């Protein structure tokens, strides 16, 4: 049982176990490397390293309380998902469509360069893609909803802003491989079908506050 393993941990490891347990529940994903704006390059993520080291006890503990912790050694992602639907993240329609569009961009870009890691893009590129797909209400989007969507996805370690504050628009972004755990390669067709169903049919639609449920 996880309690026996916990009792064998050092005081430092126990502190890291508690801290990382809370972090994972809040942020959903850990990636092996994150962009360091000070160094201008991707660097090993210390939280991922420690979670990887303590993975078995974290896995056993989360399993005990109804969560499934998974380790993806191909794309170097640690993810968590609840066994209960009431713990799934609910986001607004725009954030869902922004996420799905990021997933399409991720697939297109990594195929071009045979990249199995991070993909770079820009907010404007995502918005233009959404427009071309016809999924923007009235063909428009506001700075407020763009920033809100990006903040949410960044909190869950799906994207990262390369530089500056979120208050500024026109962001340069990194899309992390954690996005593959939201929509797998096999799930892209289903995602595209859902986007078709969510496609805006009329320019009269100005605002939609309906929430969508996604496994983030």
Q: Which residue has the higher pLDDT, 26 or 110?
A: 26
- Least Cα distance to 201 among 130, 129, 134, 112 occurs for 134
**pLDDT of residue 200 exceeding 60:** no
Q: Tell me how far apart the alpha carbons of residues 42 and 87 are, in angstroms, rounded to a whole number.
A: 32
Instruction: Indicate the residue among 87, 115, 131 that finishes a domain.
Output: 87
Same domain (yes/no): 77, 101: no
How many domains, the chain? Answer: 2
Q: Tell me how far apart the alpha carbons of residues 188 and 194 are, in angstroms, rounded to a whole number.
A: 10
In a domain, 21, yes or no: yes
In a domain, 213, yes or no: no
Same domain (yes/no): 115, 183: yes
pLDDT tens digits along 93-103: 899 889 999 99
Give the pLDDT of residue 20.
98
Same domain (yes/no): 106, 75: no
pLDDT tens digits along 24-37: 999 999 999 999 98
Instruction: Indicate the residue among 59, 87, 115 that finishes a domain.
Output: 87
Q: Tell me how far apart the alpha carbons of residues 169 and 146 are, in angstroms, rounded to a whole number.
A: 8
Range of 190's domain?
90-207
Q: Grade residue 138 by pLDDT with cuts at 50, 70 and 90.
A: confident
Question: What's phi and psi for 167, nearest 5 deg?
Answer: -65, -25
**pLDDT of residue 183 exceeding 90:** no
Q: Grade residue 164 by pLDDT with cuts at 50, 70 and 90.
A: confident
Is the C-alpha dihedral spanning 91, 98, 161, 171 positive or negative? negative
Instruction: Indicate the residue among 54, 87, 120 that finishes a domain.
Output: 87
In a domain, 76, yes or no: yes
């Amino acid at each position: 049982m996880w309690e026996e393993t916990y009792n064998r941990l050092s005081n430092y490891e126990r502190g890291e176990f508690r801290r990382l347990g809370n972090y994972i529940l809040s942020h959903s994903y850990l990636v092996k490397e994150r962009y360091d704006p000070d160094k201008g390059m991707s660097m090993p993520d210390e939280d991922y390293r420690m979670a990887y080291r303590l993975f078995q006890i974290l896995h056993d503990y989360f399993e005990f309380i109804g969560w499934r912790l998974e380790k993806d050694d191909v794309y170097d992602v640690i993810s968590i998902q609840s066994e209960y639907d009431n713990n799934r993240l609910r986001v607004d329609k725009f954030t869902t469509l922004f996420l799905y569009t990021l997933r399409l961009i991720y697939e297109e870009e990594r195929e071009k360069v045979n990249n199995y890691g991070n993909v770079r893009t820009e907010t404007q590129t995502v918005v233009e893609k959404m427009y071309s797909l016809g999924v923007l209400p009235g063909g428009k989007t506001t700075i407020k909803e763009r920033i809100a969507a990006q903040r949410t996805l960044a909190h869950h370690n799906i994207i990262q802003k390369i530089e500056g504050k979120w208050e500024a628009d026109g962001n340069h972004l990194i899309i992390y491989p954690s996005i593959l755990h939201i929509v797998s390669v096999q799930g892209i067709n289903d995602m595209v079908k859902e986007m078709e169903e969510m496609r805006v049919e009329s320019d009269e639609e100005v605002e939609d506050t309906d929430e969508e449920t996604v496994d983030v």
